[in-house]
Amino acid sequence: MAEKSFSTHVNQIYLPGDSVTLSKTDEISTVKIVLGPGLRKYGKQILVTKSGVLRTKASPATYWIDCHHKRYVPARGDDVIGVVTNKVGESYKVNIGSSEEASLSSIAFPGATKKNKPNIQIGDLVFAKLLIASIDMEPELVCVNSLGENVGLGVLSTSGFLFTVPLHHIRKLLNPECTLLKSLGKALSFEIAVGMNGKIWIKAKSVKQTIALARAISISEHMNKEEMNKLCRKFVDRQAGF
Amino acid sequence: MKETPLSICEKQTVIQGVKEGQRVDGRSLSEQRKTCITFGTEWGCCQVLLGNTRVMAQVSCSVQVPKSSRANEGMLFINVEMSTMAAEHFEAGRLGQQGIEVNRLVERCIKDSRCIDLESLCILVEEQAWEVRVDIHVLNHEGNLIDAATLAALGALCHFKRPDVTLDGRDVIIHQLDERDPVPLTILHHPLTLSFALFNQGRICVLDPTNLEERSADGKLVMGLNAYRELCTLQISGDGVFIHKEAVISCANVAASRAVQMVEMLKKSLADDAAERAKGKYSGLVASVALETERITTQSQAEVYFKASHHKAEVSKKEPSAITKTKLVNDQGVVTLETSCDTSSSESEMEVEPLPPVAVKKRVYEEIDVGNDSEEEPVMLVKLIIKTCQGENNRRTHIFEFHPFASSSFRRQTCFNVICTGGGVEA
């Protein structure tokens, strides 16, 4: 009973080590199936590597495991927020919460050349994209896209606030259906960077507003849509002074 | 592991906020976090929750030869243990600099203030005396370990009872706990520490700092006080820290009034604990589990409830049973969950059905009553072993082994994440 076919067992709970095999009917179809986080192909089997609930998305047929984790495992293409801990030669060592510190080259910034490098101090925050994230090598970050253009990555201002949130909450916040950040934006104007490694950087006009926003986001971790709307309304009222 | 580095913006936000009187978790500058004191079933076991900082202390005693310099006194030994469970940068078995600071401050507050009457611990002068040992375990580090550790140690010492001793000439008879009631220690006064983090060149003092505030602060001021507003300990630490004398006086006033409240809270917890024990339905440290606010779920709402369901038609060819009755059989600490069906020939199955996602408000669950007779040592953790065995008649029995949890907590609607893939999983 550990081997099940995909379509019948979405929204069920799986433990690491369970295998999900394609049944004969699935093999015959030529639909491309994309395996997301928590699933790995191992020969003919598909193994579950994280404990959680199996979820699916329509097109392309994507399957992944929704899990509740706090520790970040680097994945290529993720945008993360890291703290610069050291400068080693031409690159910086950045702590992103993974098992190894990531490296960020000092010329991986928009408009940077060997003679014109950005001024980054130890303790600064960088919002960067993971270029290399494999289990065998140290992760590598970049702050530009492949064409060298500025895509909103780079050093974050020191006048904001950084806080940590579990990874599933990050994914919820970044989901286009989640309206929390937009609703909070109606009450206050703020700048926010959400890192897939669980870190959120936020900057509002004053420290008080920044802290209020940070707390509102942290509290909404286990809330559903209705409760989040209620929270936002309460937030708006408080900011207006009621 | 190394500690996660502190970024400039976190430090600046804390410092700027404190200057405006605003703390990151919304407290005021002289407000302490929510304090919870719970006691275990063994005498001398105390757990303190100071916000998210969790510390547990256990007191034990043994008969030793007293020190020659103080031949008519017993001994008090305080030991602090910090493992990687509390914070990732703590080394197991070895106290770092922070650990030594905590250990020393708890010793100074409790030992040096002479709050325990050591002379009453002497049995035979120069030959036998009680050595009371306090082991403090830091379970979670979220700032202000010193206060939590001192409060836990004090709570444990107040809660502790040692075996009764009678002297028959020169023969010493140490009575067993069931022969004669154990005797509490003589506590003369209740000293506690209160820590302040210092900001803005010592002008601003913040009571009960969190980990982030401690790391961003210039220094720390620790005051040990008792309920009579007497100062027992005073320490200022941090490199290059300044403090103004007005700040020290105002901190002392804040700390003194707070210490009075804390000692009252401690005495009330002790009285509540004694009342619970007298009633007989004692749950021990389990009471603190109910105070947990963090819930681990993969779904955005509530918990996965255990639901006894009809078995699926595809698994068995036999006709489904009507209502499967579940009952718990407590057999010497091993609780067996047996399901009986109306028809003996059909199978009964336990399947976990996950909650349908988000929108459903209805909660269907079964109250599982363990029964009131588990009197063995209640263990904090519940070890859940699900075994599937194929008996005769092709009846599958799922056996859940619980290591005895005190019954009163189970009476409440306990929910536990039962993850079962149906093939027989040992979790």
| Residues paired with B161 in a beta bridge | B184
Give CA–CA dist B340/B211, Å, rounded.
Answer: 53
- In chain A, residues with a C-beta closer than 8 Å to the C-beta of B26 are 211, 215
pLDDT at B299 over 50: no
Query: What does the DSSP 8-state code read for residue A8?
Result: G
pLDDT at residue number A91: 93
Query: What does the DSSP 8-state code read for residue A171?
Result: H
Contact status of A155 with chain B (Cβ, < 8 Å):
no
ipTM of the complex: 0.85
CB pairs under 8 A between A and B: 95
pLDDT at residue number B322: 39
| Residues paired with B171 in a beta bridge | B168
N-terminal to C-terminal alpha carbon distance within chain A:
57
Domain with CATH 2.40.50.140 in chain A: 79-156
Domain with CATH 3.30.1370.10 in chain A: 161-240
Residue in A18, A83, A168 nearest the CB of B5: A83
What's the CATH fold of domain A161-240? Answer: Ribosomal Protein S8; Chain: A, domain 1 (3.30.1370)
pLDDT at A75 over 60: yes
Q: Which tokens go with A202?
A: 């936020």
Chain A, 19 to 48: residues with Cβ < 8 Å from chain B are none
Task: Look at residues B255, B211, B212 and name the one whose alpha carbon lies nearest to residue B232.
Answer: B255
Give CA–CA dist B27/A211, Å, rounded.
Answer: 12
Of the given ranges (A211-220, A233-242, B297-306), which has the lowest mean pLDDT? B297-306
Beta strand extents in chain A (DSSP E only): 13-14, 19-21, 33-35, 39-42, 45-48, 52-57, 61-66, 79-88, 91-95, 102-105, 125-132, 140-142, 154-156, 161-164, 190-194, 199-204
Contact status of A99 with chain B (Cβ, < 8 Å):
no
pLDDT at residue number B351: 36
pLDDT at residue number B342: 39
N-terminal to C-terminal alpha carbon distance within chain B:
28
Task: Look at residues B295, B34, B270 and name the one whose alpha carbon lies nearest to residue B144.
Answer: B34
pLDDT at residue number B384: 40
Q: What is the mean pLDDT of residues B104-116?
A: 94
pLDDT in tens, A84-118: 999 998 999 999 999 899 999 999 998 888 888 88
What's the CATH fold of domain A3-66? Answer: OB fold (Dihydrolipoamide Acetyltransferase, E2P) (2.40.50)
Burial classification of residue A65, based on how many CB atoms lie within 10 Å of its CB (0-12 exposed, 13-18 middle, 19 or more buried): buried
CATH class of A79-156: mainly beta
DSSP reduced 3-state for A35? strand
Residue in A12, A15, A125 nearest the CB of B9: A125
Give CA–CA dist A52/A11, Å, rounded.
Answer: 9
Q: Which residues contact B249 (CB under 8 A, 6 or more apart)?
A: none
pLDDT in tens, B327-350: 444 444 444 444 443 333 333 333
pLDDT at A3 over 80: no
Of the given ranges (A5-19, A34-48, B224-238), which has the lowest mean pLDDT? A5-19
- Using H for helix, E for strand and C for coil, what is the string for chain B? CCCCCCCHHHHHHHHHHHHCCCCCCCCCCCCCCCEEEEECCCCCEEEEEECCEEEEEEEEEEEECCCCCCCCCCEEEEEEEECCCCCCCCCCCCCCHHHHHHHHHHHHHHCCCCCECHHHHEEECCCEEEEEEEEEEEEECCCCHHHHHHHHHHHHHHHCEECCEEEECCEEEECCCCCCCCEECCECCCCEEEEEEEECCCCEEEECCCHHHHHHCCEEEEEEECCCCCEEEEEEECCCCCCCHHHHHHHHHHHHHHHHHHHHHHHHHHHHHHHHHHHCCCCCCHHHHCCCCCCCCCCCCCCCCCCCCCCCCCCCCCCCCCCCEEEEEEECCEEEEEEECCCCCCCCCCCCCCCCCCCCCCCCCCCCCCCCCCCCCCCCCCCCEEEEEECHHHCEEEEEECCCCCHHHHHCCCCCCCCCCCCCCCC
Residue in A15, A159, A211 nearest the CB of B9: A159
Suggest the residue from A50, A99, A158 to mutate for an interface test with chain B (most B CBs closer than 10 A): A158
pLDDT in tens, B31-88: 999 999 999 989 999 999 999 999 999 999 999 999 999 999 999 999 999 989 999 8
Contact status of A50 with chain B (Cβ, < 8 Å):
no
Angle in degrees, 0-180, between the axes of helices B8-19 and A207-219, rounded to the nearest 10: 110
pLDDT at B399 over 50: no
Give CA–CA dist A230/B333, Å, rounded.
Answer: 46
Contact status of A215 with chain B (Cβ, < 8 Å):
yes
pLDDT at residue number B262: 94
Contact status of B184 with chain A (Cβ, < 8 Å):
no
Tell me if B59 sits within 8 A of B132, measured CB to CB. yes
pLDDT in tens, B379-391: 333 434 434 444 4
β-strands B53-64, B45-50: how paired?
A: antiparallel
Domain with CATH 2.40.50.100 in chain A: 3-66
CB B354 to CB A12 under 8 A? yes
pLDDT at B408 over 80: no
Contact status of B313 with chain A (Cβ, < 8 Å):
no
Give CA–CA dist B415/B299, Å, rounded.
Answer: 15
Give CA–CA dist A166/A143, Å, rounded.
Answer: 24
pLDDT at B311 over 80: no
Residue in A66, A97, A159 nearest the CB of B298: A66
- Where b means 16+ CB within 10 Å and e means fewer, B143-152 reads bbbbbbbbbb
Contact status of A125 with chain B (Cβ, < 8 Å):
yes
Minimal C-alpha gap between B39 and chain A (Å): 30
Of the given ranges (A58-67, A226-235, B393-402), which has the lowest mean pLDDT? B393-402
Give CA–CA dist B400/B366, Å, rounded.
Answer: 15
Burial classification of residue B21, based on how many CB atoms lie within 10 Å of its CB (0-12 exposed, 13-18 middle, 19 or more buried): exposed
Q: Which residues contact B292 (CB under 8 A, 6 or more apart)?
A: none
β-strands A33-35, A19-21: how paired?
A: unpaired
Suggest the residue from B4, B11, B12, B13 to mutate for an interface test with chain A (most A CBs closer than 10 A): B13
pLDDT at residue number B296: 45
Q: Which tokens go with A78?
A: 């993720």
CB A13 to CB B24 under 8 A? no
CB B298 to CB A222 under 8 A? no
pLDDT in tens, B191-233: 999 999 999 888 899 999 999 999 999 999 999 999 999 999 9
Tell me if B24 sits within 8 A of B17, measured CB to CB. yes
Q: What is the mean pLDDT of residues B159-184?
A: 89
Is residue B260 very low, low, confident or very high in pLDDT (cuts 50, 70, 90)? very high
Give CA–CA dist B342/B319, Å, rounded.
Answer: 11
CB B5 to CB A156 under 8 A? no
pLDDT at residue number B254: 93
pLDDT at residue number B88: 87
| Dihedrals phi, psi of A61, to nearest 5 degrees | -55, 105
pLDDT at B323 over 70: no
Give CA–CA dist B78/B107, Å, rounded.
Answer: 6
CB B4 to CB A125 under 8 A? no
CA-CA-CA-CA torsion sign (B4, A197, B420, B367): positive
Give CA–CA dist B76/B64, Å, rounded.
Answer: 11
pLDDT at residue number B293: 52
Task: Look at residues B163, B170, B180, B419 and name the one whose alpha carbon lies nearest to residue B303.
Answer: B419
β-strands B128-140, B75-82: how paired?
A: parallel
Bond from prior residue into A110 cis (ω within 30 degrees of 0): no
pLDDT at B266 over 50: yes
pLDDT at B135 over 70: yes
* Percent of chain B predicted with pLDDT > 90: 50
Contact status of A53 with chain B (Cβ, < 8 Å):
yes
- Where b means 16+ CB within 10 Å and e means fewer, A40-62 reads eeeeeebbbbbbbbbbeeeeeee
Suggest the residue from A84, A159, A165, A222 to mutate for an interface test with chain B (most B CBs closer than 10 A): A222
CA of A220: which chain B residue's CA is closest?
Answer: B300
Query: What is the dihedral angle through the alpha carbons of A147, A152, A154, A160, rounded to the nearest 10 degrees?
Result: 180
The residue whose two tokens read 């047929």 is A61
pLDDT at residue number B394: 44
pLDDT at residue number B236: 92
Query: What does the DSSP 8-state code read for residue A102?
Result: E
